[in-house]
Structures are given as structure tokens and as C-alpha cells.
């Protein structure tokens, strides 16, 4: 199984099988006949008793760029398909109650397996191409169902195939709901005198940033409408939150430079007292 144009892992998980309640219903239906409705309906009237193949869940890895802009992804997989084969086979096997008269007024009830005879079939792998729409703002762990594309059942209906979205981590942006977070490193000079810069967004457009005041380490800037589209309403977008890191000079200052900075900033020395988590 492969995704065209992108490498990814598709991890398969099996669905659960038919439970014991179906067997109990079959026994009541066989014994009471048309009165099976007294116990919730006979087997032929209940869709849940139709044999069904297992569901398949595949993890579909998508990028944050695809979440932002949307995309159509083609997934190629080999699916087992039932084909006619020579001969006959037992099918629609079920448990039925048989009543045997042992003598006057004496009866014995036994349970036995009864099967029909059906044309023989075999499972043949066929290549199928499925198109999955990655919608804008899609959330992690969301599932896209494809009805009848799961495992086949020779005597019944195939299960379903569900693609479960796995959003990959991005090297520059972090998603939190519909908001995007990123960090920008500026120099000490830029932190003191201001700066202008552009941030390249997920779709390539540039977000212009202007700071004309002092920027402290850890300061944040909000750019409304520059986050991810909301899944339920693509006209609503989150914010882009930018955190600034200040890079200090790597070389030591000599005394003349220190005096120059003191004279330029004209800040008086303040004795800092450690005050725990409350800061200064």
C-alpha cells in the first residue's frame, strides 16, 4: 500500500468480530420460528446478524502545510476481492435446535450446526486507488470512512476502511487548536532599537513584522487571522503567535565599551533580590 507523491506509514488494525449474542438470537429464532419477534426479531430481520468483514483503520500522515491549504491524496492499496471458483462450499452456517422423540411423552432437544450449499469463491488481491480529501483545518485523529472497503466476508458484507489522520510535527510551527506558534531569534541591537522582518508562512506567503520599541526576551506578538483555518468554518482562522528570543553578543566587552553602554543607556544600578517564583 502506498500514497502517491509522498512517503508514509499505513498501520492496520483489525476490528472486532461477531459476538455471542448473535448465537443466542439464532437459537431462539430456530426454536420459536416466527415468534422470534418476542425476543427482539428473528435473524433475517436484523442487519446486525448479517456476517460482516472486519473494519480496517489506516493511519494517514499529513503535513501541517496540507492542514493549512488542504489537499487531495491518492492512496493505492491491495484489497482482497471475492471471485467465483469451481465447486461448492458450505455457507450460512448456523446453530439450530433439533427435537427428537425418545418415546411416549419423552423428547430430547439437541443443538447442531446446519449449513447451506453455495457456489465456491476465492479471494484475489486487486489494486485499488482511493482519493482522500485532506480538508483545511482537519484535526489530528479524525477519521475518513470508506464504506465497504474493509476486509471481505465470503458469506456476507465487507467491512469498512477508515483513514485516521496523523498530523506530522513541523520544524518551524507548532499547532495548538487553530493557533500557530513559532519562535524568532533577534540580535541584542534589534531588541533595543527595533526591526522589520518577514516570516514565510505554510503556503509561502510572507507575514510582515515591524517592531519599533524595545523587545524583551520572551516577548510575544499576535498576528490575528494568520493561524490555521477552522475545520467547521474555513472563513475563521486562528492567530500566529510569535515569541522573540534575544541573542546576546558572543564576545566579551572591554572597559571602554562597558562605559560607553552605561553612558548610552543611563540606567542606575539596582540591587536585585531573589524573590522565588515571583521574579524581581
**pLDDT band at 121, cuts 50/70/90?**
confident
**Mean residue pLDDT across the chain:** 82
Say what the pLDDT of residue 276 is: 60
Say what the pLDDT of residue 10 is: 42
Lowest mean pLDDT, pick from 6-20, 48-62, 110-124, 154-168 = 6-20
Distance CA 15, CA 159 (A): 9
Residue 33 clears pLDDT 80, i.e. is over it: no
Q: Residue range 20-40: average pLDDT?
A: 45
Residue 21 clears pLDDT 50, i.e. is over it: no
Residue 187 clears pLDDT 50, i.e. is over it: yes
Residue 16 clears pLDDT 50, i.e. is over it: no
Q: Residue range 136-165: average pLDDT?
A: 93
Say what the pLDDT of residue 256 is: 92
Distance CA 254, CA 7 (A): 54
**pLDDT band at 182, cuts 50/70/90?**
very high
The percentage of the chain sitting over the pLDDT mark of 90, rounded to a whole number, equals 50
Q: Residue range 107-136: average pLDDT?
A: 90
Enter the C-alpha cell of residue 125: 488481491
SS3 276: helix
- Closest to 192 in 3D by CA, of 216, 210, 219: 216
**pLDDT band at 27, cuts 50/70/90?**
very low
Distance CA 178, CA 199 (A): 18
**pLDDT band at 107, cuts 50/70/90?**
confident
Say what the pLDDT of residue 84 is: 82
Q: Residue range 60-80: average pLDDT?
A: 95
Say what the pLDDT of residue 129 is: 93
- Closest to 186 in 3D by CA, of 234, 149, 147, 221: 221
Q: What is the 3-state secondary structure (H, E, C) of 1-67?
A: CEECCCCCCCCEEECCCCCHHHHHHHHHHHHHHHHHHHHCCCHHHCHHHCCECCCEEEEEEECHHHH
C-beta separation of 39 from 25 below 8 A: yes
β-pairing, 179-187 vs 237-247, is parallel
Lowest mean pLDDT, pick from 17-26, 79-88, 153-162, 266-275 = 17-26
Q: Report CA-CA distances (Å) from 173 to 103, 144, 240.
A: 83, 25, 9
**pLDDT band at 246, cuts 50/70/90?**
very high
Distance CA 39, CA 35 (A): 8
**pLDDT band at 270, cuts 50/70/90?**
low
Q: Domain 174-251 is of which CATH architecture? A: Sandwich (2.60)
Rg, Å, the chain Cα set: 34
C-beta separation of 100 from 62 below 8 A: no
**Torsion over CA of 251, 257, 263 and 269, rounded to 10 degrees?**
50
Give me the CATH topology for the region 56-167: HSP40/DNAj peptide-binding domain (2.60.260)
| DSSP type of residue 70 | -
Residue 219 clears pLDDT 80, i.e. is over it: yes
User: Which of the listed ranges 40-44, 99-103, 204-208, 261-265 does the model predict with the highest average pLDDT?
Assistant: 204-208
CATH 2.60.260.20 domain range(s) in the chain: 56-167, 174-251
Q: Residue range 35-63: average pLDDT?
A: 69
Residue 92 clears pLDDT 70, i.e. is over it: yes
pTM over 0.85, yes/no: no
- Chain centre to alpha carbon of residue 59: 7
SS3 137: coil
Say what the pLDDT of residue 5 is: 46
Residue 69 CB partners (closer than 8 Å, separation 6+): 136, 202, 203
Amino acid at each position: 500500500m502506498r500514497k502517491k507523491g509522498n512517503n508514509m506509514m499505513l498501520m492496520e488494525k483489525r476490528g472486532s468480530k461477531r459476538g455471542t449474542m448473535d448465537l443466542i438470537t439464532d437459537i431462539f429464532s430456530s426454536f420459536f420460528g416466527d415468534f422470534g419477534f418476542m425476543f427482539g426479531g428473528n435473524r433475517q430481520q436484523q442487519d446486525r446478524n448479517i456476517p460482516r468483514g472486519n473494519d480496517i483503520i489506516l493511519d494517514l500522515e499529513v503535513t501541517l502545510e496540507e492542514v493549512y491549504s488542504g489537499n487531495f491524496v491518492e492512496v493505492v492499496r491491495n484489497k482482497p476481492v471475492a471471485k467465483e471458483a469451481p465447486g461448492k462450499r458450505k455457507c450460512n452456517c448456523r446453530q439450530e435446535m433439533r427435537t427428537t422423540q425418545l418415546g411416549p411423552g419423552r423428547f430430547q432437544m439437541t443443538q447442531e450446526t446446519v449449513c447451506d450449499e453455495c457456489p465456491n469463491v476465492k479471494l484475489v488481491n486487486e489494486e485499488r486507488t482511493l482519493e482522500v480529501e485532506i480538508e483545511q483545518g482537519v484535526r489530528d485523529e479524525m477519521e475518513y470512512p470508506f464504506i465497504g472497503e474493509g476486509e471481505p466476508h465470503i458469506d456476507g458484507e465487507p467491512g469498512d476502511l477508515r483513514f485516521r489522520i496523523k498530523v506530522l510535527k513541523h520544524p518551524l510551527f507548532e499547532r495548538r487548536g487553530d493557533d500557530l506558534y513559532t519562535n524568532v531569534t533577534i540580535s541584542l541591537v534589534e531588541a533595543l532599537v527595533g526591526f522589520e522582518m518577514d516570516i514565510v508562512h505554510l503556503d509561502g506567503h510572507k507575514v510582515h513584522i515591524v517592531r519599533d520599541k524595545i523587545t524583551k526576551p520572551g516577548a510575544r506578538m499576535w498576528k490575528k487571522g494568520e493561524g490555521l483555518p477552522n475545520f467547521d468554518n474555513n472563513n475563521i482562522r486562528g492567530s500566529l503567535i510569535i515569541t522573540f528570543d534575544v541573542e546576546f553578543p558572543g564576545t566579551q566587552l572591554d572597559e571602554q565599551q562597558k562605559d560607553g553602554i552605561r553612558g548610552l543607556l543611563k540606567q542606575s544600578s539596582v540591587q536585585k533580590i531573589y524573590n522565588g517564583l515571583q521574579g524581581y
